[in-house]
Amino acid sequence: MDTFKRLKDFYWPYKKYFYWSILTLILVSAITVVYPMVLQFTIDEIIIKGEYSFVPYVAIGFIVLMGIKGAATYCHQYFGDLFGISSVFQLRESLYEKLQFLPFSYYDNAKTGDLMSRLTADVEGFRFFLSFGFSQLINFVLIIAFSLSVMFFYSIPLAIITLCMMPFLAIVVYKFDKEVHPAFRGIRKSMANLNTKVQENISGINTVKSLSREDFEIGKFDTSNEDYKSQFLNTSHIWARYFPIMELIGNLSVVLLLAYGGYLVINGDLTAGELVAFFSLVWYIMGPIMNLGFIMNTFSQSKASGERLLEVLDEPLELEGEDRDTAMVRLDGEVMFEQVTHRYKNEKKDALKDITFTVKQGHTIGLIGATGSGKTSITQLLSRFYKPESGRILIDGKPLEKYSLNTLRKNIGTVLQESFLFSSTIRDNISYGNPDADMDEIVDAAKRAQAHDFIMELPDGYDTILGERGLGLSGGQKQRISIARAILIDPAILILDDATSAVDMETEFEIQRALKEVMDDRTTFIIAHRISSLKHADEILVLNEGAVIERGTHEELIQKGSGNYRRIYDIQYQDKNKVFQNNGQGV
């Protein structure tokens, strides 16, 4: 029960619904045990003795009991569902909130399909036990307790025989739970893996179709689907192996009780009505005991779900800064890296090695280098997505750890290489970081990002609802909306991570011209592969395998005549010159 104890904070605040559910369940269980007593009275007092005048009273009393039981059953189910759904409402909220504040490093290895499975299937599995399984477990105890009380009243020897058979069933049920719980955990993991495969396939359907890899994807899905089938069949095998044993013990008990009960009736120690009532009560006990496998099944599924939910809830949050003020404080934007070294988790090599540089307020720094050279790592450390292994990062002379995450990140506007847009209106996407912005500010930001003209050509302009991930827009259009979003928050520090990589040369020129005014008053980091994007930077860092191998202005690096930067420059501009020459020759 450790899993349920640890999740107690989510369901115990709603204990009043649970109490009402149990109180009405007690009434339902008590009335249920009255039925055999009514049957015994009918046989012994009415049928055998011929007292038929009691029939109307018995019928009316029985109808009243059924009415009370029906009302109590309704209340029990309603309050049970209210208890379960209220509990997981808060649990789901907490899980989603936790996902928002987990560190960036958590998502390096997390799978979208698996997280979705935890927030849906696992939460629902936990809710089902709270709403239904837990009350069934209590009903199991109540119905056995009430039934045994009446059985001891009718016949102590028969009741003792019934009790002697129960430990055998209990042992089988215990062994069943020990095997079925790991099996259900395997099912949950397999289902999460299946969801991940579907999610990845749908997200990358363009790549799949463009490379004609449909058969390969079908094969991958078949493998995951086969694993899920195997896990499920393994669980079914466990169930099929134990259920007949439980049923056999129950049937043997019935045969033994029937033989001994018949003997007691013949000797006059038990009436026929009492024997019939006793056998009804036996099934009230044997039925729940044999059904205990289903209850334990539900319990095991819920426990497996709860463990997976706790894995998320137990993840450490991002380390907050010493300044926990939620109000946004405007920074100047001077950035200093002092001997910063960083290595990602589970990686053997350092992503950054002894990085040191200073960017004055309002200046622009360019970062260039091969893929994996550490360009993006610098900006991710600046945003505190990761914590460096050694060294210090300061803004305005103050270490990052001194700032609250709210202050830090609201002062940093980022345009990533892969633009992400939400399934909402263009206006909502641009104002995502500044929801209080008015329409004039939104339009101004769009104009600066060279996005206003194409937005106005759309059917509903700024109210156009985008498809998933901006479906319906070109890569360049999505990137310009992302740039407008960064401009609108008016950050002290602007990070452009290959922000113009998805646009043509003409559009790039227009965006850079628009950004020049925006960049004048703020510190800007430009990550680019095109030298044309870096030419006007106050300083350019050339990185290779996490280290700065060259630094200087564009002119200084060109004048060296050798080095990586000059080599990149020659490749890019020689290719252009060749194109111009070929065009001049009429090619």
Q: What percent of the chain clears pLDDT 70, i.e. is strictly above it?
A: 89
Which of 146-150, 203-207, 236-240 has the least mean pLDDT?
Answer: 203-207
pLDDT over 90 at 209, yes or no:
no
Residues 213 and 82 in one domain: yes
pLDDT tens for each residue of 121-161: 888 888 888 888 888 888 888 888 888 888 888 888 888 88
Confidence bin at 468 (pLDDT 50/70/90): low
Q: What is the mean pLDDT of residues 159-173?
A: 79
Q: CA 38, CA 338: separation in Å to the nearest integer?
A: 87
pLDDT over 60 at 326, yes or no:
no
Predicted local distance difference test score (pLDDT) of residue 519:
74
Residues 191 and 249 in one domain: yes
Residues 381 and 275 in one domain: no
Q: What is the mean pLDDT of residues 91-106?
A: 86
Residues 129 and 203 in one domain: yes
DSSP string, 29-53: HHHHHHHHHHHHHIIIIIIIT--GG
Provide the number of structural domains found in the chain.
2
**What is the CATH number for 391?**
3.40.50.300
Predicted local distance difference test score (pLDDT) of residue 469:
61
Residues 347 and 291 in one domain: no
Which of 299-303, 316-320, 371-375, 389-393 has the least mean pLDDT?
Answer: 316-320
Q: For all residues of the chain together, what is the average pLDDT? A: 83
| 162 or 472, higher pLDDT | 162
Confidence bin at 211 (pLDDT 50/70/90): low
Q: Is 81 helix (H, G, I), strand (E, B) or coil?
A: helix
Domain presence at residue 488 = no
Predicted local distance difference test score (pLDDT) of residue 580:
43
pLDDT over 70 at 545, yes or no:
yes
Domain presence at residue 516 = no
Residues 141 and 18 in one domain: yes
Predicted local distance difference test score (pLDDT) of residue 43:
86
Q: Is 392 helix (H, G, I), strand (E, B) or coil?
A: strand
pLDDT tens for each residue of 48-95: 877 888 888 888 988 998 899 999 999 999 999 999 999 889 899 889
Cβ neighbours of 184 (radius 10 Å) = 23
Predicted local distance difference test score (pLDDT) of residue 337:
95
Confidence bin at 511 (pLDDT 50/70/90): low
Q: What is the mean pLDDT of residues 396-410?
A: 87
Predicted local distance difference test score (pLDDT) of residue 549:
92
| 200 or 143, higher pLDDT | 143
| 297 or 533, higher pLDDT | 533
Residues 148 and 254 in one domain: yes
Which of 356-370, 403-417, 567-581 has the least mean pLDDT?
Answer: 567-581
Predicted local distance difference test score (pLDDT) of residue 539:
93
Dihedral over alpha carbons 49, 50, 53, 54 (to 10 degrees):
40
Domain presence at residue 34 = yes
Domain presence at residue 449 = no
Q: CA 549, CA 73: separation in Å to the nearest integer?
A: 76
Provide the token pair at 221: 């899905």
pLDDT over 60 at 39, yes or no:
yes
pLDDT over 50 at 210, yes or no:
yes
Q: CA 144, CA 393: separation in Å to the nearest integer?
A: 67
Q: What is the mean pLDDT of residues 395-402?
A: 90
Report which of 364, 447, 379, 366 is spatially closest to residue 416, judged by C-alpha positions: 379
| 320 or 178, higher pLDDT | 178
Predicted local distance difference test score (pLDDT) of residue 507:
66
- Strand order in 412-415's β-sheet? 412-415, 493-497, 523-527, 364-369, 539-544, 547-552
Predicted local distance difference test score (pLDDT) of residue 573:
75
Predicted local distance difference test score (pLDDT) of residue 581:
47
Domain presence at residue 218 = yes
pLDDT over 60 at 324, yes or no:
no
Q: What is the mean pLDDT of residues 551-557?
A: 91
Q: What is the mean pLDDT of residues 502-524?
A: 71
Confidence bin at 482 (pLDDT 50/70/90): confident
Domain presence at residue 108 = yes
Confidence bin at 290 (pLDDT 50/70/90): low
Cβ neighbours of 433 (radius 10 Å) = 18
Confidence bin at 416 (pLDDT 50/70/90): confident
Chain length of the chain: 587
Residues 204 and 338 in one domain: no
Predicted local distance difference test score (pLDDT) of residue 336:
95
Question: CB of 358 within 8 A of CB of 382?
Answer: no
Residue 233 sits at φ, ψ, to 5 deg, of -65, -35
- Residue 350, phi-psi category: left (phi > 0), alpha (psi -120 to 50), beta (remainder): beta
- On whether the pTM is more than 0.85, the answer is no
Predicted local distance difference test score (pLDDT) of residue 54:
83
Q: CA 506, CA 522: separation in Å to the nearest integer?
A: 25
Domain presence at residue 573 = yes
Which of 151-165, 210-224, 379-393 has the least mean pLDDT?
Answer: 210-224
- Range of the structural domain that residue 102 is part of: 2-313
Q: What percent of the chain clears pLDDT 90, i.e. is strictly above it?
A: 19
pLDDT over 50 at 579, yes or no:
no
Predicted local distance difference test score (pLDDT) of residue 4:
84
**What is the CATH number for 97?**
1.20.1560.10
User: What CA–CA distances, in Å, run from 114 to 4, 8, 25, 30, 121?
Assistant: 22, 24, 37, 44, 10
Predicted local distance difference test score (pLDDT) of residue 567:
87
| 259 or 334, higher pLDDT | 334
pLDDT over 50 at 587, yes or no:
no
Q: What is the mean pLDDT of residues 551-564?
A: 86
Residues 245 and 393 in one domain: no
Residues 116 and 190 in one domain: yes
Q: Which amino acid is at 363?
A: H
Domain presence at residue 205 = yes
Predicted local distance difference test score (pLDDT) of residue 365:
94
Predicted local distance difference test score (pLDDT) of residue 133:
82
Residues 357 and 285 in one domain: no
Residues 299 and 393 in one domain: no
